[in-house]
Structure 1
Amino acid sequence: MGTPLGDFVRAKRDSIQPAALGLPERGRRRSPGLRRLDLANRAGISVEYLTRIEQGRDRHPSVAVVNALADALSLDPTERTHLRYLTKITGSECVSHARPAPPNREVRPTVRETLRLLEPGLALVTNRLGDILARTGAYEAVLGGTGLLDADAVPNLTRYVFTDPRARALFPDWEDIADEQAFDIRLGPSVESSEWFTTELAPVAGPEFTRRLNRHTIPKRGILRLAHPAGPELRLRRETLELAEDTQQLVVLLPADEQTAEAVERLRRLPAPRLRAIS
């Protein structure tokens, strides 16, 4: 059985062409990318050890080995951070016997107060599974007509992206947003909650979701474009503040241009602004 770490190393190895690293082509091969032998030589480890890592039979590589693999794969800083994170959760999976469980969805009073201070801006508290745990009245006014907030319990952006047809109309860059949401599931709030959510969502989300889970493509997270059903296209910059104590994020959406700022102002005047929080 594979592991997140092994899946990532194998996926990156398969995506690298030998010529990109100055290595000679060695004729036609069944699988694409770099050979295990070449990667092992670059990292200074044995092919047997690399095979154990990729196949999930070694879940505790040393820091030196992880750094050597990062160098050998020519990972950028974001990919290196992701590699270290996958090493951590891969090691914890073999010693943790906790059952899959939903994450804690309580939003601290001070965080809710921070949201109030951000009115009339667009802001929300979320977690890496996509739960929208609290939002400003302005966020609700702008996104309220899209179907995203229609859930009776906790609205969830990931579930919306993969199961609601309206999401493809709302997000012109749906493929990028889908990649982001699937990628973030790996980041928590915990291994148990990620497993719980994946198990819940996979049967209804289908292959568009499941094929992304092990791709380990680092999202770009550029400008967020929304084709709002009321007419205007919104272009929003995203600022994300980590609430490490809660394994949650405070996300602020800022207009990227004057046209978006004017459209947001018109949209948020429709209902009376109010804060919605779900615990």
Structure 2
Amino acid sequence: MDRNKLAEFLRSRRARVTPRDVALPEAGRRRTPGLRRQEVAQLAGMSIDYYIRLEQGRGPHPSRQVLNALARALMLSQDERGHLFNLAGQALETPRIRADVPEAILHLISFLEEVPAYVVDAKYDILAWNPLAGVVMGDLDARSPDDLNVIRWVFRSSDIGGYFEDEERSRFARGSVADLRVAAGRYPDDQGLQALVAELLALSPEFAEIWARHEVAVRRHNTKRLDLPDLGVIDVTCQVLAVPDREDLRLVIYTAEPGSPSHQALRKLRQLTLSS
């Protein structure tokens, strides 16, 4: 581990990120560009003292969890994230995508050629998907392994206010929190899940407000409206199915009424995906 180079890299990346980039208030004059150290520590869910020591080249050997949190807080690209891990003396971990998904389920979603299908774990990390889901869910193939959490997309979005102005998206946001609370109670020793809850409680007032209601409800199915480029708006039913022998995993499938305009749009999307 090269503490000095790690410290220099952290300082340079911090200077590049503005409060607006991470939805923080810009109150008060700033003597230097970028985020304050306290803001980075807050975004990464760590103490300010710990982060200061890292930037001063005298910190402890950071864990993978700390490095991933810093990568998110500083909005690092995939290449920058890899460099961060290298400076910290750790090889970039192999992505968890597909690692925990039974082979039979991987085969199933590949056979579902006309509908988007993907697998999520208890904390809403997307672990595997078929080509249609990759497109519908926002170019999943281009995302880093640490940018595949659906609940984080919602509550860390710069447009979070828009979610609660739309009835369908508001219902999804509230239902996701209620479902996550069930998972947090079912898997109290899942450090990743508990860390996600702590992160969102610290950084999202909207999440904290819903979490404080103590609503619990397992997600099973709902309707969803998708706005697809070149195809317009389509309506689908979102089916959530438990994976046999893996209660922490769920298979999510978007279906449309056979012969409906939405069904035809999904078929056209499949053809576009195959030809691209």
TM, length-normalised to structure 2? 0.52
Q: Deviations over 1:148-167 (max 9, x none)?
A: 66531141111111122467
Shift of 1:227: 3.0
Match of 1:199 in 2: 198
Match of 2:81 in 1: none
| Amino acid corresponding to residue 214 of structure 1 in structure 2 | A
Shift of 1:240: 1.9
Shift of 1:256: 4.1
Match of 2:51 in 1: none
> Unpaired runs of 5+ in structure 2?
1-95
Shift of 1:273: 8.5
> Unpaired runs of 5+ in structure 1?
1-101, 275-279
Q: State how far apart, in whole Å, the 2-side matches of 1:251 and 1:222 are.
A: 11
Q: State how far apart, in whole Å, the 2-side matches of 1:227 and 1:121 are.
A: 15
Question: Pairwise CA RMSD of aligned residues?
Answer: 3.2
Distance 1:116 1:144, change over 3 A: same
1:190 and 2:187 aligned: yes
Q: State how far apart, in whole Å, the 1-side matches of 2:153 and 2:135 are.
A: 18
Q: State how far apart, in whole Å, the 1-side matches of 2:141 and 2:207 are.
A: 21
Q: State how far apart, in whole Å, the 1-side matches of 2:113 and 2:159 are.
A: 27
| Amino acid corresponding to residue 179 of structure 2 in structure 1 | D
Distance 1:222 1:240, change over 3 A: closer
Match of 2:175 in 1: 180
**Alignment partner for residue 149 of structure 2, among 156, 159, 163?**
156
| Amino acid corresponding to residue 155 of structure 2 in structure 1 | F
Q: State how far apart, in whole Å, the 2-side matches of 1:107 and 1:200 are.
A: 26
The answer to whether the 8 A contact 2:154-2:173 is kept is: yes
Distance 1:197 1:228, change over 3 A: same
**Number of corresponding residues:** 168
| Amino acid corresponding to residue 208 of structure 1 in structure 2 | E
SS at match of 2:171: helix
Distance 1:172 1:141, change over 3 A: farther
- Please tell me whether Structure 1 or Structure 2 has the larger radius of gyration of its CA atoms: 1
1:267 and 2:259 aligned: no
**Alignment partner for residue 138 of structure 2, among 115, 133, 144?**
144
| Amino acid corresponding to residue 115 of structure 2 in structure 1 | G
Shift of 1:136: 0.8
Q: State how far apart, in whole Å, the 2-side matches of 1:200 and 1:105 are.
A: 24
